[in-house]
Amino acid sequence: MDDDTQLPGAVRPGGRTARTRQRVLDAVAALLLDEGYDALTIDAVAARSGIHRATVYRRWRDTGGLLADTVDAAREQDWEPPDTGSLTGDLIEINHQVVAALTIHPSIAQALIAASFRSPAAARALRTFWEDRYERAAVVVTRAGVTTGAREVIVAACSPVFYELALMRNPAPGGLAERYARMAAAAVADRLPAVSPDKRR
């Protein structure tokens, strides 16, 4: 039996502890995708992962802890914003990544968003995830020469995509990523230098 009582989201060593966490989080994802939020229990995760129930309970405590750590694990992954050479191109590529995450079938991103409406712990973790992604993505705006409001530009580009795909559950029409990325870039066009240091537009 694994002996680990660290809180979800804490820095964990590799080896057996990391393998235990991965097996449990894989089980969480599989249950969400196969059976939905209501099937997610400590007992179900223990059975699916093959990890003793006492270990799952001791580390994660409840469904909220399991969901929060699943989101934390996604946040911990290495992700760097694209660098296409232009602000518009970078925003388009970010939106393409959002579309891909929300339209793949089955979509763990969609499942976690849905779960966040029923789990305060998952909702808090998801807010932290988004803030981390906004902070990392802001560089595509600042390196284009827009010195203020970088987060707002990212939100303006991405939010309509989330609205269409995650809230309205519309199919992804052609050009969805490009349309809103171009609108966001156009909104700050007057704040871009005539010729930025790396010739970005």
Position 192 scores a pLDDT of: 87
Is the pLDDT score of 10 beyond 90?
no
pLDDT at 9 over 60: no
Q: What pLDDT, on the 0 to 100 scale, is given for residue 15? A: 86
Amino acid at 22: Q
> What pLDDT is attached to residue 149?
96
Percent of the chain's residues with pLDDT above 70:
90
Tell me, which fold does domain 16-75 have in CATH? Arc Repressor Mutant, subunit A (1.10.10)
Mean pLDDT on 79-88: 97
User: Nearest Cα to 139, choosing from 66, 180, 198?
Assistant: 198
Average pLDDT over every residue of 113-134: 97
Average pLDDT of the chain is: 90
Structure confidence at residue 166 as a pLDDT band (50, 70, 90)? very high
Rounded CA-CA distance 78/66 in Å is 21
Find where tokens 């988004």 sit: 130
pLDDT score for 173: 78
- Taking 60 as the threshold, does the pLDDT of residue 201 lie above it? no
Whole-number pLDDT of residue 199: 46
Residue 196 has pLDDT above 50, yes or no: no
Tell me the pLDDT band of 14, cut-offs 50, 70 and 90.
Answer: low
pLDDT of the residue at 171: 85
What is the distance between the terminal CA atoms of the chain, rounded to a whole angstrom? 56
Token representation of residue 33? 């995708």
Q: Where are the domains of the chain?
A: 16-75, 78-191
Contacts of 2 (CB under 8 A, 6+ apart): 16, 17, 20, 51, 52, 55
The residue with greater pLDDT, 192 or 11, is: 192
Confidence check: pLDDT of 31 > 80:
yes
Q: What architecture is the 78-191 domain classified under in CATH?
A: Orthogonal Bundle (1.10)
